[in-house]
Structure 1
């Protein structure tokens, strides 16, 4: 099979995975088939071909923007730059966004975008040309705007691309007072929110940490309550995997293996994530990291002994051919669709706890929602309450010191007196969202006697979407 055909097969398989999971959930719902089909369907698919002059040649760029659901507006979803981008993949990811937003109670419909390029081999100047032209094409067809469709970073994109999108939108939409809210994931200097970069990885950490607090679930897999001392493997050291690994390490978990494209490194005593990243920047690879063992086949790292496995890179990395060899007791899906339905069934029979992607990696869209709200309100988080909180804390401390007749040490006093900064409020909101989302799914799983958290998450999401449609008066 050629690379092109293989890419299409993988994308088709990815799409069918979502449909299979949706159909499993539908068995627990008393909803007419037509309504379920409406929720499954993508409402709008925009396929674009546009010319861009690169060097002395004109190249035709293939790009997409898919709006999966309009049950709430605006739609929300990232833009990825990759040679593997195709319509099926973008449609699937847009659908996942709809379900994620519903689970974490973020009032968006799901969308996704993609441009079929390799940003690694294209100059910054030409990436900017492509990004700005893509944005102008979206504006022409009303596929972008603060109340219409709000893009964000994804694979191959970041703050730089989002700032170009904002600037292009602003230049073509004069007088739009809420233009900042047309895109999220921007630099803080351009209306971005502190804490957005690490949001998805931190959300993964919060979700797994909450699961590990549940005595019943931990007993079922033979583990103690809590994260301290648990052995963790993270596949993928991009933005999500790096931050997830860092937060697990800081919480006392032991990172025994890290896997990347070129291979993996292993140390049963634990790896220092920050030092691994320094080694990666210095050498261009995580391999040959001091006091670690190289593993040439990165997939073999998934099969090592561990308590928690975090696939944070690609879809379908755990499938029917390797699922039986997975030794992890908990799998946290930081990537989109890293497990196939066949792998799900095999691992479920083995008693492995799987925390699904449509809940676990929703931290990014949650904090994107906070950024969108900040842009619409035109007020930085913490601006109004920070000084008030500090004054109140000062008065309380004075009362405590008077009553106790004892002075509190200066360093401790500084910590107590400090009012909330933007990043404190953002992380607090994210933590609360991930904890509440987990318990809603878990409670539904118990009440309906659903076999796993993934199916429970889909049931919960579908119910939320149906509620929205009913409030709009669209369905009888």
Structure 2
């Protein structure tokens, strides 16, 4: 049972918005806010539960960052809708007391952090993570660290847009080596995962964005594509090389590759899609991309699935490591902490000899019990 569930109806457009607090630790929960046409309370409830698992999973005794509870928000609107920003502002206004006191939130699917920061400022809120700042010993120093971290740019891409996908790549590489990979979604998670897989020597033979699938059996030029990407993760096709080809977006599941990274929408791999997966490892960069019955079918035929709350945990963890002062606000510190932590987590759950989701759930439950103690 969730601790709190809010269903909000926009008085202007009748659009629905939702907040779910799944759990609280020291009175605070963490989790992003998404904009997605068709978003439901059930979806947000599942995402909030996933945040509880993510928070508990990365608990490291000795860190200043004591993981929080899990929460999530969502609004049923296309982020490209002309009314989206106005609806978002009215939603944030309505749930502002929860954000001030309990829910530390940030960008998620369909929402950029800078937009959320602008709206927070318009409403007189210093940030959307005020509830977390109340837990740190030196609030001014924590704010300064976060500002410095958010200002970092690594080879043309903001550090904040790299940490989650870097963690996804590290999760995959901790399991073994690969010749080829396909990445579905080219936003912050998918783009960074593709970059760091390519730099590890993996040929990224397919990348799907909202406009379709881009292919090259010898490996796509990921850096070239990142430079030609818009704010929604869509690649300008003019950057493609003569040997690159395109295909319909839905063909991403049919590409032969060792590794598959779904890093865009939720619920994209059902039973029918699972039968088309050719990879031996699926690393869930998106939240809830695989339905349970589809994961069971893939596991039964020997496909390893790294669950979302393990694979994509690092965006959330990086924020709090910076805020609480466990790392300096630099790319070097971020990548080192992420790589060390992710490899430890993957090695721990892999050693259990059971499906990774089951092992990761057990580890999260043990960590949650330790936090309570």
| Structures share fold, TM-score greater than 0.5 | yes
Tell me how far 1:329 sits from its aligned partner.
1.2
Query: What's 2:168 paired with?
Result: 204
Alignment partners' CA distance in 1, 2:299 and 2:13: 48
Alignment partners' CA distance in 2, 1:177 and 1:200: 20
1:135-150 equivalences under 5 Å are 135-139=92-96, 142-145=97-100, 148-150=102-104
Long gaps (5+) in structure 1: 1-40, 52-57, 213-225, 383-420, 472-476
| Contact kept in structure 2, 1:77 and 1:113, CA below 8 Å | yes
Alignment partners' CA distance in 2, 1:163 and 1:70: 24
Query: What's 1:83 paired with?
Result: 37
Q: 1:294 is matched with which residue: 238, 243, 246?
A: 246
Deviations 1:393-452 (A, max 9, x none): xxxxxxxxxxxxxxxxxxxxxxxxxxxx72222222222221222122223x23xxx3x1
| Contact kept in structure 2, 1:318 and 1:338, CA below 8 Å | yes
Question: In structure 2, do the counterparts of structure 1 residues 171 and 362 end up closer, same or farther at CA, with 3 Å as the change threshold?
Answer: closer
| Contact kept in structure 1, 2:253 and 2:273, CA below 8 Å | no
1:88-99 equivalences under 5 Å are 88-99=42-53
Query: What's 2:348 paired with?
Result: 440
Report the secondary structure of 2:260's partner residue: strand
Deviations 1:5-59 (A, max 9, x none): xxxxxxxxxxxxxxxxxxxxxxxxxxxxxxxxxxxx21111222344xxxxxx44
1:98-113 equivalences under 5 Å are 98-105=52-59, 107-113=67-73
Higher helix share: 1
Tell me how far 1:60 sits from its aligned partner.
4.3
Query: What's 1:458 paired with?
Result: 361
Question: In structure 2, do the counterparts of structure 1 residues 165 and 328 end up closer, same or farther at CA, with 3 Å as the change threshold?
Answer: same
Tell me how far 1:302 sits from its aligned partner.
1.4
Alignment partners' CA distance in 1, 2:282 and 2:224: 25
Query: What's 2:333 paired with?
Result: 425
Alignment partners' CA distance in 2, 1:156 and 1:91: 18
| Contact kept in structure 2, 1:42 and 1:66, CA below 8 Å | yes
Query: What's 2:107 paired with?
Result: 153
1:146-185 equivalences under 5 Å are 148-167=102-121, 168-170=123-125, 178=133
Report the secondary structure of 1:354's partner residue: strand
Q: RMSD over aligned Cα, in angstroms?
A: 3.2
| Contact kept in structure 1, 2:264 and 2:286, CA below 8 Å | yes
Deviations 1:233-278 (A, max 9, x none): 1111111101110111112110111112332122111110122345
Tell me the TM-score normalised to structure 2 length: 0.83
Alignment partners' CA distance in 2, 1:177 and 1:78: 13
Long gaps (5+) in structure 2: 60-65, 153-158
Alignment partners' CA distance in 1, 2:124 and 2:264: 31
Query: What's 2:77 paired with?
Result: 117
Alignment partners' CA distance in 2, 1:307 and 1:172: 41
| Contact kept in structure 2, 1:234 and 1:309, CA below 8 Å | yes
Report the secondary structure of 2:223's partner residue: helix
Query: What's 1:319 paired with?
Result: 270
| Contact kept in structure 2, 1:231 and 1:254, CA below 8 Å | yes
Alignment partners' CA distance in 2, 1:442 and 1:185: 37
Tell me how far 1:333 sits from its aligned partner.
0.8
Alignment partners' CA distance in 2, 1:85 and 1:180: 31
**2:8 is aligned with 1:48:** yes
| Contact kept in structure 2, 1:185 and 1:368, CA below 8 Å | no
Report the secondary structure of 2:310's partner residue: helix
Report the secondary structure of 1:367's partner residue: helix
Report the secondary structure of 1:462's partner residue: helix
Deviations 1:273-320 (A, max 9, x none): 122345555xx6565833122222x23221221111111112222222
Alignment partners' CA distance in 2, 1:280 and 1:79: 23
